[in-house]
């Protein structure tokens, strides 16, 4: 993969992420804060962004979203296809709910 291709892919991911995050925050702020692992302050900022600001933020070559968890157990629960998928996702959600937002970033 060429360097420019990777940067373009990052910009596309950034735009999709920002648009999804903004839509989620505007639709159901409390659920968005939990599902995105963001603070209330970040949610407020996302809700206020204009389309031009979203495009400007997305144009950076730095990935704006990241893995929520550095916890191997949570990643394993979400990725393991051997287990009952529903139960694993419920278990992961329970474990995630116990993490304060500040530790999710």
User: pTM, whole model, 2 decimals?
Assistant: 0.69
**Same domain for 46 and 84:** no
**Same domain for 71 and 61:** no
pLDDT by residue for the chain (105 residues), tens only, comes to: 687 899 999 999 999 999 999 999 999 999 999 889 899 999 999 999 999 999 999 999 999 987 766 667 666 766 765 656 666 667 666 666 666 554 433
**Same domain for 52 and 7:** yes
Parent domain of 59: 1-65
Q: Is 21 exposed, middle or buried (0-12, 13-18, 19+ CB in 10 A)?
A: buried
pLDDT at 2: 80
Neighbours of 42 (CB within 10 A): 17
**Same domain for 25 and 57:** yes
CA 40 to chain centre: 14
Number of domains in the chain: 2
């Amino acid at each position: 993969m060429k360097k420019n291709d990777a940067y373009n892919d990052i910009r596309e991911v950034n735009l999709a992420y920002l648009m999804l995050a903004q839509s989620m925050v505007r639709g159901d702020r409390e659920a968005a804060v939990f599902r995105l692992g963001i603070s209330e302050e970040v949610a407020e900022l996302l809700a206020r962004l204009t389309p031009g600001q979203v495009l400007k933020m997305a144009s950076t070559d730095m990935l704006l979203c990241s893995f929520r968890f550095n916890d191997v157990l949570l990643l394993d629960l979400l990725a393991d296809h051997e287990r009952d998928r529903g139960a694993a996702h419920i278990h992961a959600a329970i474990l995630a709910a116990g993490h304060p937002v500040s530790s999710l970033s």
